[in-house]
Chain A
Amino acid sequence: MNLNYSAEDQAFRKQVRDFIDANLPKDIQERVLSGNRLEHTDISRWQGILHKQGWGGAGWPKKFGGTGWDATQQHIFDEETADAGCPMQLPFGLRMVAPVIMAFASPAQQERHLPGILSGETWWCQGYSEPGSGSDLASLKTKAERQGDHYIVNGQKTWTTLGQFADWIFCLVRTNSDVRQQEGISFLLIDMKTPGITVRPIIMMDHEHEVNEVWFDNVKVPVENLVGEENKGWTYAKYLLGHERTGIAGLGRSKRVLKQVRKVAAVAMSNGKPLMEDQRYRDRLAQVEIDLTALEITLLKVLDAEKQKKQIGPEASLLKIRGSEIQQTLTELAMQAAGPYAIPYIEEPRQQGQKWPSWLGNDAYVHASGSYFNMRKTTIYGGSNEIQKNIIAQLAMGL
C-alpha cells in the first residue's frame, strides 16, 4: 500500500503545470480566480488551446483524438487546471455526449460530431429534464414521431445549462408510449438551428442566466441523428449519468475554493484579529479540509479500481453526494467570512476598464453570497442527492 503519487505521476503533474503557466490566457485566469463572470468564448478559447496541444479530450481514448491518459493522469490534469484557474471544459460535449457517441453511435456520427467537441468549435447542451420529469426522468414526455426519413419532435426540455450558446442538443425523447417507460425512450442529436426550436432563459436566484427552457414545436430531425437503436435511449442515458457523476464531485475546484476561503479568512478582521484566528471559524475550515481529504482519497481509490476493471459503480453516487455537499459548505464559509459584506448586491463591473468600487474593503466578498445561492443547485442537479442515495442503497447494498 502506498498512497503517494509515483515519480512518473509527479513528472506528469509538472508537465501539466508548465503547460498551463505558458498557455493559459491571463485575462481568462483573472476572471476565473476572482469569481467574475466568464465570457462563453473564454471556454471555447481554452478548449482550442488544449486541443492544439492534443489535450482537448483528457478522458478520451487515443482512437478518437484523446490523450489516452489513465485515470490518475486525468485526475492530476483536473486538479492542476482547476488550481491554476483554467475555465471549466464544457462537460456536455466532452464528458457527457461524447462517451455515448463513442460507445453507441455509428462511425459516420462519430466522424461528424467528435472533432467539433474536441476542438471546442461545437457547443453542446443536454436535453434530459422536463418540467414534469426531474428525479423521475424516465417519465419524460417529449415525443419523436417517425415520418419517413425524419422524426417530428414536440415537447419541452428544461434546466438546459448554457443552452443559449449551443449548436447542438442531445435529447432523450419518447418514441414509444405503449411499453414500460424506460423501454420507449430514444437518444437523438438535434441541431439547435432547426426551425421550431425556441430557447427561453430561466433566471436563477443569483440573477444569473445559466439555464434555459428549450421548446420543440414540430422540429424535423433526420433519422440519421438517432444514436444507436430506437427505444434503447435509456441504456445510453444511464451510461452517461455514470460518467457525469465523477466529474460532478468537483474536487479540484473545491480545493481551489478552499485556498481562496483561507486567504479571505486571513485578511477578514474580527474583533481586531484575522478571522482565521477565531477558533470557531478555524475549526469549521479544518473540518471541511478533512472532509475534502476524505473525498480525495476516496476518489483516488475509485480511480485506482477503475484502472483495473474500468467500471463505475455506486462509487460515482458517493462522490457526487459528498462532493456537492462540500462545495456548498465552502460557499457557506466564504459567505460567513464576508460578514456584513455578504449583504450588499454589487453589480459586477462589465464595461472595459471599470473596476469594483474602491470603498469595498475586499473584492473577494462581492461574490460570496451569490456563490452560496448558486451552489444550492449542486445537490439537486445530475440526479438529486436523494436519488443518489437510492442508487447506493439499491446497487451497492441490495436494499
Chain B
Amino acid sequence: MDFSYTEEQSLLKDTLTRFVQKDYPFDARHKRINAGEFCHEPTWQALSEMGVMALNVPEAAGGLGASGIETQIVMEAVGQGLIVEPFLASAVLGTQALALASPAHPLLEQVAAGAVKLALAHTEPGQRYERIAQGTTAARQGDAHVLNGQKAVVLGGAVADYFVVSAVAEGKCALFLVDAKASGLTRHAYPTQDGANGADLILRNVSAERLGNAEDQQAILEAVLDKACAALCAEAVGAMGVLVKLTTEYLKTRKQFGVTLSNFQVLKHRAADMLVQYELAKSMALYAATAADETEARVRAQKISAARVQVSQASRFVSQQAVQTHGGIGVTDELNVSHYFKRLSIINHTLGDADWHLARYSSLM
C-alpha cells in the first residue's frame, strides 16, 4: 500500500497548483463569465502546453496514456481554481470515449495537443442519468452512418469541435464521431449555472463516422462515464478544500459581539464537521481514482458509485455550511464562496446524483 504520488505526479500537481494560484485569478474568471465567454483560449492553451490534454490519449496515438491518478491531480486543481474551461468535458469524457472506441484514431493527436475540443453527447431528453442510448438512432448509408435524435445537456457542448455521440445501431449501443459543423446538426449552446458551458443538440440526418468496430459499445460508454465520475470526485475535493480554508479564515477574522466568530462553539464544531467530511471525501476521491482503471466493470462501478455517494454528501454539507457560516456575504455573487457552492451543487447533479449512485451501489451489493 502506498498513498504517495510518483515524482512526475508530484511535479504535475505542483505545476497545476501554481497555475491556479498565479494564472487563474478569480476576478478575471468572474469578468469573463459575466461577459458571456464560454472558454478562455489562453487558459486552454496554457493547460495544453502542460500536457494535460494528452493524459488520456494512448501513447501509440501521440498521447501520454496516463492513469486515473493523473486525471485526479488535474481535476483537484480544476476544483481549486473553479476552472470552467472544459477539461472534464473534452479531455476526460470526449477523449476517453474516442480513445476507448478507436484507440488509433487520427484525431487523437490533435486532441492531445489541445488543438481540438471534444464533447460526449449521451444523455437524451426524458432521461436523467441513464447510461443507455435510447432515442438517438444510427442507420447505415453506404459506407457512412446517418444519425437522428436529440441530446441533452452536453457538457462543454458550446465549444466542442467534435462530438462523440452515443446511438442505437441495429439494436445495440454504438459510438459515433460528429463534426460540430456537420449539416443537419443544430446546437443550442448555453452557459451553465456554474459558469461553464453546455449545449442541447438536435440531429437530423447527420452523417457520422462509426468509431471502432466492436459490436456493442455499451461497456465502453460505462467505462467512460465511470472515469468521469471519478474525476468529478477529485474536482469536488479541490473545491471543498478551498471552502474549508476560506471558512476557517472567516471564523478567525469576522467579529460579532466584540469577538471573532471562532469563539462560538457551535461554529467551531461546524468547522470541525466540515473538515471531517472533507477528509473522508479526499479518501474516497483517491479510491475512485484508482478504481477508474479497474478493468472489471462491476468492481469499478461499485467503487466509483461508493465514492460519489460519500463525496456528494460531503459536498452538500461543506458547501451549505460554508455559505451559512459566511452569512449574507456568502450568498452574494461578489464573493468566491457562492461560486464554489454553485459548482459543488452542480457536480452533485452531474452524471448521477447521490441517490442515483446509492441505488446503483445497492443493486451491485
- Give A residues with C-beta under 8 Å from B: 129, 132-136, 139, 158-159, 202-205, 207, 268-271, 275, 278, 280-281, 284, 335-336, 338-346, 357, 359-361, 369-370, 372-373, 376-377, 379-381, 384-386, 389
Contacts and interface: CB of A to CB of B under 8 A. Distances in A.
Contacts of B152: 340-341, 361
A135 B327 contact: yes
A270 B194 CA distance: 24
Given A134-B327, A369-B345, A380-B327, A361 B125 contact: yes
Contacts of A204: 331-333, 338
B331 A339 contact: no
Interface in B125-155: 125-130, 150, 152-153, 155
Interface centre among A284, A359, A384 (most CB of B within 10 A): A359
A281 B355 contact: yes
B342 interface: yes
A212 B191 CA distance: 26
Given A335-B349, A340-B123, A359-B202, A345 B332 contact: no
A380 B153 contact: no
Contact of B128 (A129, A134, A270, A373): A270
Taking chain B's interface residues, is the majority helix, strand, or loop, or is none over half, making it mixed? mixed
Contact of B345 (A134, A372, A377): A372
A354 to B, nearest CB: 15
Contacts of B339: 205
Nearest to A158: B328
A134 B256 contact: yes
A379 B126 contact: no
A379 B128 contact: no
Interface centre among B126, B258, B350, B358 (most CB of A within 10 A): B126
A381 B355 CA distance: 30
Given A203-B333, A335-B345, A343 B153 contact: yes
A340 B150 CA distance: 14
B193 A344 contact: yes
B331 A336 contact: no
A286 to B, nearest CB: 14
B60 interface: no
Which are the 6 A-B pairs with shortest beta-carbon distances? A205-B338, A339-B128, A136-B256, A340-B153, A203-B333, A342-B349
A341 B153 contact: yes
B324 interface: yes
A376 B333 contact: no
B126 A361 contact: yes
A269 B333 contact: no
A133 B328 CA distance: 11
A268 B355 CA distance: 15
Given A339-B353, A380-B328, 8 more contacts: A132-B255, A205-B331, A205-B332, A268-B128, A340-B153, A342-B346, A343-B155, A369-B342
A159 B338 CA distance: 16
B290 interface: no
Contact of A269 (B126, B342, B358): B126
A370 to B, nearest CB: 8
Contacts of A360: 200
Given A340-B129, A359-B202, A373-B342, A205 B333 contact: yes
Interface in B258-312: 258, 264, 266-267
A205 B355 CA distance: 26
6 contacts: A204-B331, A284-B355, A341-B153, A359-B125, A373-B193, A377-B331
Interface centre among B258, B324, B327 (most CB of A within 10 A): B327
Contacts of B129: 270, 339-340
A205 B327 contact: no
Contact of A280 (B193, B258, B334, B358): B358
A376 B331 contact: yes
Interface centre among A343, A357, A361 (most CB of B within 10 A): A343
A136 B198 contact: no
B165 to A, nearest CB: 16
Given A340-B123, A344-B192, A136 B257 contact: yes
Contacts of B202: 359
A380 B330 contact: yes
Contacts of B345: 335, 369, 372-373
B107 interface: no
B32 to A, nearest CB: 15
Contacts of B342: 205, 369, 373
B156 to A, nearest CB: 11
A386 B192 contact: no
Interface centre among A139, A284, A372, A376 (most CB of B within 10 A): A376
Nearest to B153: A340
A136 B302 CA distance: 48
A359 B150 contact: yes
B74 interface: no
Contact of B355 (A280, A386, A389): A280
B14 to A, nearest CB: 32
A370 B342 CA distance: 10
Interface in B216-269: 255-258, 264, 266-267
B204 interface: no
Contact of B334 (A133, A202, A384): A202
Contacts of A386: 264, 266-267
A384 B327 contact: yes
B17 interface: no
Contacts of A202: 332, 334
Contacts of A343: 153, 155, 192-194, 198, 346, 349-350
B320 A376 contact: yes
A344 B190 contact: yes
A373 B340 CA distance: 12
B323 interface: yes
Contacts of B323: 376
Given A336-B353, A343-B193, A359-B202, A129 B328 contact: yes
B87 interface: no
A57 to B, nearest CB: 29
A371 B116 CA distance: 36
Contacts of B355: 278, 280-281, 284, 336
